[in-house]
Structure 1
Amino acid sequence: MENKTLFDKIWDAHVIKSIPNGPDVFFIDKHFIHEVTSPVAFLNLEKRGNKVMFPERTVATPDHNVPTIDQDKTIKDQLSRMQVEKLRQNCAKHGIELHDLGTDHHGIVHVIGPELGITQPGMTIVCGDSHTSTHGAFGTIAFGIGTSEVEMVFATQCIMQAKAKKMRITVDGELGPGVSSKDIILYIISQISASGGTGYFIEYAGSAIRSLSMEARMTICNMSIEMGARGGLIAPDETTFDYLKGKDFAPKGAAWDEAVAYWKTLKTDEGATFDLEYHYNAVDIEPMITYGTNPGMGVKVKDHIPTTEGMKESVKKSYIKSLDYMGFKPGEPMKGKKIDYVFVGSCTNGRIEDLRTVANFVKGKKKADNITAWIVPGSREVEKQAMAEGLVQILEEAGFKLRQPGCSACLAMNDDKIPSGKYAVSTSNRNFEGRQGPGSRTLLASPLTVAAVAITGEITDPRDLIEELALEK
C-alpha cells in the first residue's frame, strides 16, 4: 500500500476525474464568498441560465470593503454599498446562507468559517480570496480562486485544478518568550523568500507547530500564500478536535465520534515523500519585522536591514527601490525607527487570542502620543468576547480605537487607510507598496510586537519591555 502525505489523502479523495496530461476535476466541499469577487460570477452564472448547484455548500459574508464604523447605517461609499447590496440579493435569490453586517456571526470570511465550525478536517475549501489558505490549519486543502472559478464552483461544485507539488516545513523545539506563530511564519518566509513556495502545497510539522493553538496555526497557514505557495495545512490532532467540539456547525453525538475517527486518519504516513523539505529550530526564531515591500523582506527586530554586499546586480536594483519606497537604507538598525500607526486585525491576527495578547501587554499603560492605534476584531463573535472579557476597556484606556469587524486597514478597500508617507506596524499579511493606502509604508509584525510599538512609539523588541516589567516586579 502506498504511503501518502496528508495532502495526497485529501486530494485523492476529492478527484472526480483525472484528465490525461491535464488538470483534475476536483470536488469542493465548502465555498466561502464575499462581496468583491462574487457579483460578476453570479452575473455570468445567470447569463448562462445556470443556478448554484449546491447552495447549502456555500457561505457568504461581506468583509473586504465594509466600513468598520457605523455599520448600522447606510454605507457611504457607493461601490461598497452596491457590492454589499448585490451580495444580499444574490444570496436571497439562490438560497445561500449570509452572515450580513450587524448579524451575530458577521465577520471576516476566514475568521467566521473556523469559529462557527464550518471548517472541518479533510475538507476542500475555496474562496475568491488568496488567504483562504487560513483554513488549512484544520487539515484541509484550502486555496483562493479567481472570479471565473467562483462561477465554476457555483455551477458544478467542482474546479479544474492541477495537483500541486508537496513541501514539508518542520519546526522543532520550544519557542522563546515573546515569540509567536507570526514570528515563525515571517522567519520562514525570510529564509525561503516570497517566491520560495511557488508551485507547492505546504505541510507544517514538528513539535513547535504541534504546540500551537488553533488560532496560532491559522496565522501560519494564512501566510503560506506570502511565499508563493498554493496553500498550507497542518495535520489535525486533539487541539483541533477540542477547538471544534460544540461549535454551531460541528457534528454532534454519534456523528461527532464518527467524524473524529476519520479525522484521526488525516496525517502523513511514515515514509511518505515530499518534493521538498525544510527544517528549522524554534530556538533560532525571535520577534520578527519586515522592512521592505514583500513579506520575504523580514529580519529579527533586534537586527539591521541587510546590506547589498554580495547581492546580484539584478536583485540590487529592486532591493534599493523597495528601501527607497520605505525611506530606509541598507545596514540601518530596525529598533528605534519612529512609527505613526499600529493596526491589529485582519484574517491573520484578528482573533480573540490576538486581542488578548495586546490587551495583556498594554494593560495599565498608555500608547505613545505619536501613535494612532486601531484594533479591529475579525468577527462579531470576537468583538462580543472581547467586551465580555473586559479587553475592550483595557484597550480603550490604553488609547486604542476599537472598530467594528471587517478587513479594515489590511487592504484599504474601505475607509481605514494609512495616510501617504506614514509608517504602520501591522498584524496583517502583506506589506506591498500602497497596500494599506496610497503611499503608505507597512511593516508586518506579531500582535505582541505591535503592542510594544504602540507603547514606545518606535520599533521595539517586545522582550525588552517584558524584561523591564519583570525587573519592576
Structure 2
Amino acid sequence: MGRTLYQKIVGSHTAFHVDENHVGLYVDLHIMNEYTSPQAFAGLAEKDLPVRCPEKQMGVVDHVIPTHPVARGERLILVDAAAQQAANFTRNCHKHGIHLFDITDPEQGIEHVVAPEIGLIRPGMVVLCGDSHTTTYGALGALGFGIGTSEVEHVLATQTLVYRVARDMRIRVEGELPPGTTSKDLVLTIIAKIGAQGARGYAVEYCGPAIEALSAEARMTLCNMTVEAGARGALIAPDDVTVAYVAERIRDLSAAQIAEAAYQWRQLKSDDDAQFDVAFDFDARDVTPFVTWGTSPDQAIAIDARIPALPDDAVERDNIVKALDYMGLSAGQRLDGLAIDHVFIGSCTNARIEDLRAVAAVVRGRKVASSVRAMVVPGSGLVRAQAEREGIAQALIDAGFEWRQPGCSMCLAMNDDVLAPGQRCASTTNRNFEGRQGRGARTHLMSPTMAAAAALAGCIVDVRKEA
C-alpha cells in the first residue's frame, strides 16, 4: 500500500519507536518565542542540561512586544512583567548559543512569518514551536505543529519529541477561487463546513487545482488556520511554486546544492494508491467572502448570508446563544452593514507582503472612515521594509491607517494593542475567542481585502461591491 506525504515525513524522521501509536520524532528546526519558553529553560537549568543542538533552534521576540510606530532602535517594552520575560529569553538564548531575533533586530517579526522568509523552512522538514499556528509551514511541504512547554524542554534537551502519530485526512479543492475571494475565505469556508473539531486528530493534506493555483503565501494562510479545525498538521505537496519560494530565500546553500535539493523536494508527495482515513471535497467556485459572527472560527457565514437560526439541540443551542450574546448579535441577522470600531490587519495569518499589497490596492486614494481606528502591523521587519520600498506603506498612511512596527500585536491581548470592552473589530487574525483581542472585545475574522473595505466603509461590507 502506498504512503501519504505525512506518513513519509514522519517515517523519515522517526528516531525510535515507543509503541504502536508513538514514535521518537527527530526535529529539524525548533522555533521559540518569549512566551512559551521560560519554563522550558528553567527546567534545563534545574537538571543542569545543555541545549543539545543550539544551531537547530531559533528565537523571536514577538508576542509581548509593543508595535508603536517608532524607530526600530527606540522600541521598548514598558510593561515590567513583559520586559522581564523578554530579557530572560534574551539571556537564555545567548547563554545557549541560540540565534535570537531581538526587539531591535531588523529581521524581527512574527515567528511564523520570519522563519519562511529567511529560508529556514524547507520541504520535508519537521518544524516545532510552542505555538499552535506552526501548521503554517505545511504550505512549503514541511510538517509543522505546536507543542507545550514541557515538550519545548524535551526538544531543547534531546532534539526529539515523543510524538503520537496522527491519522490522515485529505481535502481536495477543485475549480478556481472567484474574483474578490482569497485563501482566507476558502479556509473559513472549510472550517465552517467541517467544524472546529472536524480535523481533530488528523494531519490534513490539501490538494487539487485550486490549491495548486495559490501562491506560497496564500498557502501559508490556509495551513495556518487549519489548526482551527483541530488539525494536528497541514501539508501541501511541494511543486514549482514551493521550490521557487524556498530557493529564492535560502542563504546557506549554493545554486548547485539548491538545484539538487529541489529535485528531492519535488518527489515529496503522496503515492497514487495512498489511503486516507477521511476525505473531503470542495469546489473553490462556491467560495464567497466569509466573515465570522461568533466566538469560534467555525461560526462563520458568507457576507451575503444571515446568521443561522437557533438549532433544536439544547447543548448546541446554548453554545450559540452564548456566542451571540457575547457578540451582541442575533440569529437571522446580516453582517453586511454592521458598524465596527476598529480594523486590525496583521498576524501570522495575514501580514505578509502579498496581503499588504492587496490591502493597498483597495484603499489607495481613499480614506478610512472617521468612526474607525485602523492599523496595519507587518509580519516582519523585512515585510515592513519592502512595503515601504514599494509605496504600500505610504498608501496606507495616506488612507488613514496606522503603520506600525512588527509583532503579534492585536492578534492576542498580550501587549498594549488591546481593544476596549464592547469594541467591534474587523480582523485578519486567526481566532475570535472571547477576550482574544481584549476583555469583552468582539472580533470578526475576515480576509485582508474585506478588512480594508470595512475600514473605508465604517462597517462590514462585501469587498466585491466596494472595489
Q: Per the shorter chain, which TM-score range? A: over 0.9
Structure 1 moving runs of 4+ over 6 Å = none
Partner of 1:6: 5
Aligned partner letter, 2:146: G
> How far does residue 249 in structure 1 lie from its aligned partner after superposition?
3.3
> Residue deviations 1:48-74, cap 9 Å, x none?
111000000001110011110145243
Q: Give the TM-score of the pair, scaled to structure 2.
A: 0.98
Give, in whole Å, the separation in 2 of the partners of 1:43 and 1:393: 44
Q: Does the Cα contact within 8 Å between 1:132 and 1:142 map onto a contact in 2? A: yes
How far apart in 1 are the matches of 2:252 and 2:176?
31
| Residue of structure 1 in register with 2:173 after alignment | 171
Query: Which whole-Å deviations, capped at 9, do the CAs of 1:328-360 have from their partners, x for residues lacking one?
Result: 000011111101100000000010011111111
- Separation in structure 1 between the aligned mates of residue 75 and residue 177 of structure 2, nearest angstrom: 45
Deviations 1:227-257 (A, max 9, x none): 0111211111100111112324363222112
TM-score by length of 1: 0.97
Corresponding position of 1:47 = 46
Contact 1:335/1:461, CA 8 A, preserved across alignment: yes
SS in 2 for 1:86: helix
Report the 3-state secondary structure (helix = DSSP H, G, I; strand = E; otherwise coil) of the residue aligned with 1:246: helix
Question: What amino acid maps onto 2:106 in structure 1?
Answer: D
Q: Which residue identity does 1:212 align to in structure 2? A: L
Distance 2:384 2:85 in 1: 24
C-alpha contact 1:246 1:252 (8 A) present in aligned 2: no
Q: Give the structure 1 partner of residue 374 of structure 2.
A: 373
Matched, 1:92 2:91: no
Partner of 1:268: 270
- Does the 8 A contact of 2:5 with 2:268 survive in 1? yes
**Counterpart residue number, 2:408:** 407
What is the rounded CA distance, in whole Å, between the counterparts of 2:254 and 2:409 in structure 1? 35
- Structure 1: unaligned runs, 5 residues or longer: 467-473
Residue 371 of structure 2: SS of its match in structure 1?
A: coil
Match of 1:155 among 154, 157, 180: 157
Q: Is the 8 A contact 1:18 1:25 kept in 2?
A: yes
Moved more, 429-438 or 65-74: 65-74
Counterpart residue type for residue 7 of structure 1: Y
1:330 aligns with 2:328: no
Partner in structure 2 of residue 258 of structure 1: 260
Query: How far off is 1:19 after superposition?
Result: 1.7
Q: 2:218 aligns with which of 212, 216, 224?
A: 216
Listed one character per residue, the Cα deviations across residues 362-388 of structure 1 (whole Å, up to 9, x for unaligned) are 000001111110100000000000000
* CA contact 2:172–2:208 (8 Å) conserved in 1: yes
Instruction: State the partner residue of 1:18.
Output: 17
Q: Which residue of 1 aligns with 2:462?
A: 461
Unaligned runs of 5+ in 2: none
CA distance in 2: counterparts of 1:389 and 1:243, whole angstroms: 19
* Kept in 2: contact 1:23–1:160 (CA 8 A): yes
Report whether the alignment pairs 1:425 with 2:434: no
Cα-to-partner distance string for 1:121-140 (whole Å, 9 max, x where unaligned): 00000000000001111111
Letter in 1 for 2:192: S
Q: Which amino acid aligns with 1:444?
A: L
Letter in 1 for 2:51: V
Instruction: Give the aligned CA root-mean-square deviation in angstroms.
Output: 1.0
Offset of residue 22 of structure 1: 4.6
Amino acid of the structure 1 residue aligned with 2:190: I
Q: Distance in 2 between matches of 1:314 and 1:377?
A: 40
- Report the count of equivalent residues: 464
Question: Which residue of 213, 224, 232 corresponds with 1:230?
Answer: 232
Question: Matched residues in 2 for 1:269 and 1:250: separation?
Answer: 31
Q: Which one of the candidate residues 243, 246, 250 is aligned to 1:244? A: 246
Amino acid corresponding to residue 423 of structure 2 in structure 1: K
Q: Return the alpha-carbon distance in structure 1 between the equivalents of residues 244 and 141 of structure 2.
A: 14
